[in-house]
Amino acid sequence: MSRKHSQRAEDLRRALAQEAARIMVEHGIGDFLQAKRKAADRLGVHDAAVLPKNVEIEDAVREHQRLFGGGTHRATLREQRRVALDAMRVLGEFQPRLVGSVLTGTASDHSDINLHLFADSSEAVAIKLLELGVPHEFHERRVKMDAERSVNYPALRFEADGRTVNATVFPVDGIRQAPYSPVDGRPMRRADSREVSTLIEEPGADPRR
C-alpha cells in the first residue's frame, strides 16, 4: 500500500469514527456496530477494512461531547449518575455495580443507566421492586463472558426519575468475573456506590482507572 493510499485510508477511518460518534450521541444509538454501519452508509464507504474499532469510536464520542456538549453534557452526566446512585442504594442488598457509558462518561441524554446486580434469582429483584411500588419489565441481555462464550442473563427495565434503568441480574458469584466490554474486549469496568458517589462529588475523577 502506498503512503498516499495509507493516509487516505487513515483519514477515512477517522471520519467514520467521528460520524459514528455523532450518530451515537445525537440519535441515542448504543450499539457500536449499528452506528458504524450507519456512518459507512452515510459516507458511502463499502470497504470493511477501513471501519474504525469500537475504542476509536468511543474516543471520538468523548471528543464530540467535549466540543459540542460542554456544560450541558457534564450536567446531564452528573444527573444520570445521581439517579444511578439512588437506584443502587435502594437495591443495595444485590451488591449493585454501575457499568457502561454512564460510568465511563460517554453517555448521551438518551442513554440508559446500566447496572449489574447479583442475586440467587431475578425474581428476588422483582419482588424488591414490587415492594417499592416500581413498575418493571423482564427481558434478557446477551453478555460476552470471554472470547469464546456469551450467556443470556435475565434483566429488569424500570424508570427512575425520568431515566431508564437496565439491571442485568447475575448469580451471586458473578461478581467475581466481569463480562467483556464491547468497547475494548477487556473485562468490563464496574463501580460500586462508593465509587459512583466519588464521581458525582469529583467530576474530574477518571472512572477508567
pLDDT tens by residue, 153-191: 999 999 999 999 999 999 999 999 999 998 998 999 999
What is the separation, in whole angstroms, between the first and last Cα of the chain? Answer: 38
Q: What is the pTM of this model?
A: 0.87
Same domain, 41 and 87: no
Same domain, 39 and 104: no
Same domain, 41 and 99: no
User: Which backbone phi and psi does 94 adopt, to 5 degrees?
Assistant: -105, 20
> What pLDDT does residue 104 have?
94
How far apart (Å, rounded) are the C-alpha atoms in residues 58 and 183? 7
Same domain, 98 and 35: no
Same domain, 183 and 113: yes
Say if residues 28 and 108 touch (Cβ distance below 8 Å): yes
Q: Is residue 157 part of a domain?
A: yes
Same domain, 106 and 175: yes
Same domain, 48 and 75: no
How far apart (Å, rounded) are the C-alpha atoms in residues 195 and 187? 18
Domain that residue 75 falls in: 71-201
Count of structural domains, the chain: 2
